[in-house]
Amino acid sequence: MVMEHDAKQQCIVCNEEKAEGIVVVDQFICLDCEQEMVHTDVKDAKYPFFIDQLKRLWMKLHA
Ligand SMILES: [Zn+2]
């Protein structure tokens, strides 16, 4: 269990509402996407997509 939430939050990667996940900066990433990111290889086609999503978070952080 990474975090506890009473209500579901919208995941910034898959846009689905999930109860479990992590909060990076103030953005929610669901457990499924977090796990997928961890296991996604650089060569995987999905990787740039995840990086793009995360980049938005870091840009927000430094805005
Ligand atoms: Zn997700």
62 Cα–ligand 1 center, Å: 23
51 Cα–ligand 1 center, Å: 14
32 Cα–ligand 1 center, Å: 6
Question: Is 52 within a domain?
Answer: yes
Q: What is the count of structural domains for the chain? A: 1
Q: Which domain holds residue 28?
A: 9-62
CB burial of residue 20 (10 Å; 0-12, 13-18, 19+) = middle
Going residue by residue through the chain, which has 63 residues, state the pLDDT in tens, using 9 for 90 and above: 555 556 899 998 899 999 999 887 788 889 998 888 778 776 777 777 777 877 887 788 777
Question: Is 29 within a domain?
Answer: yes
63 Cα–ligand 1 center, Å: 24
Question: Is 1 within a domain?
Answer: no
Question: Is 26 within a domain?
Answer: yes
Question: Is 2 within a domain?
Answer: no
Q: What is the pLDDT of residue 4?
A: 56
